[in-house]
Amino acid sequence: MRAIGMAILFCLPLLTGIAGAHEPDTFTVIVREDRHDPMQVDVIVNDTVHYYNADNRTNITHTIGLDLNGDGDFDDENEFSSGVLHYSCDWTNDSDCRVAWKFEINSTDYVGNFVLSDLMSDGTETEVYLNIGMDNHATNAPEIGECFGDGCDEDEVEETNLESSSRSTVENAMMLGGLLFLLIAIGLASSMIAERP
């Protein structure tokens, strides 16, 4: 019975965690000549950051990303980047051209505080900050195979039984308390009667 109770204790917060899951947000960052607006973004897993290139200087492009080993590119292990971002595109002739980077933070692998580099085509660089936190609700979600499917349904049934059994325990305790009170009252009454001359 204790094991079942423990299982329910573990399952309940997991189930409520799913119900209260974080709604994904989208944050927009305006990429400018000398800065980003804002310079720092704080998000959590499942959010999206939209970096939009608003630097209208002629022939200047931006590439934003994580340069872990500081070698000036974003191609090494665990590095990621926006690809080249232009101010404007001629999509008729260049369908791959992009003006924005929609960074979907769809994995807990991204959790951490990052200093991203915005490398511009003229060789200059701006450092910007991206802090990615855990979705605390999502982290409460069950691990694969845990508390999903038939096993969980059984636990819910057991929970009902547990509730009714604990309720009857309370009732028993109250009855016992009432009996004790009655016995004390009788004892007091009889001792008062006995003390009378």
Interface ranges with Ca ion (CB under 5 A): 67, 69, 71, 73, 76
Token look-up 């994995």 returns 107
Token look-up 């947000």 returns 25
Which has the closest alpha carbon to 74: 116, 104, 38, 26? 116
44 or 119: CB nearest Ca ion: 119
**Closest approach of Cβ 66 to Ca ion, in Å?**
8
51 or 74: CB nearest Ca ion: 74
**Closest approach of Cβ 64 to Ca ion, in Å?**
13
Cα separation of 28 and 102, whole Å? 9
Asked if residues 34 and 10 have their Cβ atoms less than 8 Å apart, the reply is no
Cα separation of 25 and 151, whole Å? 34
**Closest approach of Cβ 35 to Ca ion, in Å?**
23
**Closest approach of Cβ 120 to Ca ion, in Å?**
16
Terminal C-alpha separation, the chain: 57
69 or 161: CB nearest Ca ion: 69
Q: Name the helix (H) or strand (E) containing 166.
A: helix 150-195
**Closest approach of Cβ 73 to Ca ion, in Å?**
5
**Closest approach of Cβ 110 to Ca ion, in Å?**
17
Residue nearest to Ca ion (CB): 76
72 or 177: CB nearest Ca ion: 72
**C-alpha of 64 from chain center:** 25
DSSP strand E in 36-195: where? 36-37, 40-44, 48-53, 62-65, 81-85, 100-104, 112-120, 125-133
42 or 71: CB nearest Ca ion: 71
67 or 155: CB nearest Ca ion: 67
